[in-house]
Amino acid sequence: MSQEEHLAPFAFGARLRQAMDTRGPLCVGIDPHPALLADWGLNDDVDGLVRFCRTVVEALADRVAVLKPQSAFFERFGSRGIAALEKTVAHSRDAGALVLMDAKRGDIGSTMTAYADAYLTKGSPLFSDAVTVSPFLGFGSLRPALDAARISGSGLFVLALTSNPEGAEVQRAVTDDGRQVAQVLLDRLRTENAGEEPLGSFGAVVGATLAEAGADLAVNGPLLAPGIGAQGAGAADLRRVFGGAVGQVVPSVSRGVLRYGPTVAGLREAARRQADELGEALGQVS
């Protein structure tokens, strides 16, 4: 029986909380960039892409909380790459992982509605448990995605305080009411998640590489924390950055696990080590 059949009555926040409590909070990215394909001895083509994804799903989908395919690395191969992405999403979910589509979509009106149809509407070939979105056309521009997610039981991760240094010029900008843009977004997420238990379905992306969050992260929703491993952050940084909200953190690792392929055993051992390090840093007992 698939995860969807097991958990269909629950919203994404509840399903994510359940997965984090039973499997640990680790999210592993599926990032088949050219250098990594070469390191695995694979060609930088659709066949290499398919073999890469099949191995990652076989190794990890039954043991980590979340798999996060990066859409761009599939899109670069055109329609055959998108077909590979569709299969990766379906196989991951069938094997028990929650799928977070890392697409960072953001637009207005009917275009945002079309993105929501693609990723957040049941029956779509790319239907995922959650998707990353960009709010920098205004939080209100996300309304079609928020509405679609509520209907399908999916979730969103909204870019708020990202790990790239350039993000600060927008995210740390101060609005007329004295709040930073990032805080405005976090406050809107808190409103969207009000009253949801055990966890809201609308989360934020907050980089683990930040010197400090400098914001109120208590949004009653999950906090995706990229930047662990190759970008320089470690498990021990999570408490410093996230403080009292650390229990809602979904730490995201890509190269720190994927570079231990191409064997299933190597990927599983790398994921286990990451999970153990995270559990120790967060005071969890495995």
Active site residues: 104
For residue 34, give the 3-state DSSP assignment. helix
Place of tokens 């094997």: 95
Question: Ramachandran region of residue 32, left (φ > 0), alpha (ψ -120 to 50) or beta?
Answer: beta
Q: Which residues contact 215 (CB under 8 A, 6 or more apart)?
A: 160, 161, 180, 182, 183, 186
- By CB atoms closer than 10 A (0-12, 13-18, 19+), residue 5 is exposed
Separation between Cα atoms, residue 280 and residue 2, nearest integer Å: 31
Please name the helix (run of DSSP H) or strand (run of DSSP E) that holds residue 122, with its range, or none: none
Q: Which residues contact 261 (CB under 8 A, 6 or more apart)?
A: 39, 40, 52, 55, 56, 59, 267
